[in-house]
Structure 1
Amino acid sequence: MRETRRTHSPAGPREPCWSLPCRPADARRTVERVVAERCRNRAIPCDDDALDDVLLVTSELATNAILHGGGITGFDVDVDISGVRVSVSDGSDDIPVAEAPVDERGRNRLGGRGWPIVCLLARDVSVAGLPRGGKRITAVVPLG
């Protein structure tokens, strides 16, 4: 059984931000609520450590959309037996890249840790271009 919570349809026009999670904290609360509903119904086995991983991935995707993509333009959460699928869309066509933690002079870089964290914690990660421009990044994090 699969449950989908969609706050924005990628096929339709962009909706105002108040219908989407505008901040990473909003996105985390949405994911927490959806996962809690499924765990409460005992339809999906849930592990607290796995939920922490899902929330961290959600934060990183939302933060990256805001910092590098011009803001969150779409947000989806799907929960099924394979885990939690979080999709975050933004207006940038740029593909995320992992940067070295130090620059060419050996100085520590600020930031740049989010994408490697997403790739480490998620079982599957995909980046898809959107028909009207921008991209959707989807990460699947197992729940148990």
Structure 2
Amino acid sequence: MCDESRTDTVPGLPGVGRGAARRAGRPDEARRAVRRAVAERCRALHRPCDADALSDALLVVSELTTNAILHGGGITDFRVDVVGPDVRVSVSDRSDALPAVAEPVDPQGRQRLGGRGWPIVCRLARDVHVSGLPSGGKCITALVPLL
């Protein structure tokens, strides 16, 4: 999805059937949910969590939730699940608009603030999928490696 401008309309949230719906109306709540899910998995495997990989997952969830608030009319659903060596986060919002990369400079040559979140998500995630929701809005699901 990061290299394309398309979206699929599917019923429900894509690929998050086993995901734990967590209350996350703000980026800090979403980060806490990801930390909890990853820590639970590391405890179950009896090994330490990779701090750099966790940081990547936290940055991805921060960008997705912040963008849902700033550009998508708010977070309507949030799910997190650790699947094998990856953490999967899904953030839904009210907007049908696809994520976009903003040019770093405006037409007058001034540096723009923001516009870097989507490229960060695309760089850190192993897979990103954007799905249109039947009731309107979209769900962005990102799979971030933990190893």
1:5 maps to 2:15: no
Q: Does 1:30 align with 2:33?
A: yes
- Which aligned pairs between 1:1-144 and structure 2 lie closer than 5 A? 4-7=19-22, 20-42=23-45, 46-144=49-147
> How many angstroms does 1:5 deviate by?
1.1
In structure 2, relative to structure 1, the CA distance for the partners of 1:43 and 1:22 (3 Å cut) is same
The one-letter code matched in structure 2 to 1:138 is: T
Question: What are the superposed Cα offsets for residues 12-33 of structure 1, whole Å, 9 maximum, x if unpaired?
Answer: xxxxxxxx31110000001100
Segments of 4+ in structure 1 off by > 2 A? Answer: 43-46
Q: Which runs of 5+ in 2 are unaligned?
A: 1-16
Cα drift, residue 4 of structure 1: 2.6
* Distance verdict in 2 for CA 1:109–1:33, change over 3 Å: same
Distance in structure 2 (CA, Å) of the matches to 1:132 and 1:48: 38
How high is the TM-score relative to the length of structure 2? 0.84
Structure-1 separation of matches of 2:30 and 2:102: 25
Amino acid at match of 1:99: A
The number of residue pairs the alignment matches comes to 131
> Per the alignment, do residues 41 and 84 of structure 1 end up closer, same or farther by CA in structure 2, a change over 3 Å counting?
same
Structure 1 residue runs without a partner (length 5+): 8-19
Higher relative contact order (CA 8 A, sep 6+): 2
User: 1:30 aligns to what SS in structure 2?
Assistant: helix
Distance 1:69 1:44, change over 3 A: farther
Instruction: Kindly report the root-mean-square deviation, in angstroms, between the aligned alpha carbons of the 2 structures.
Output: 1.7
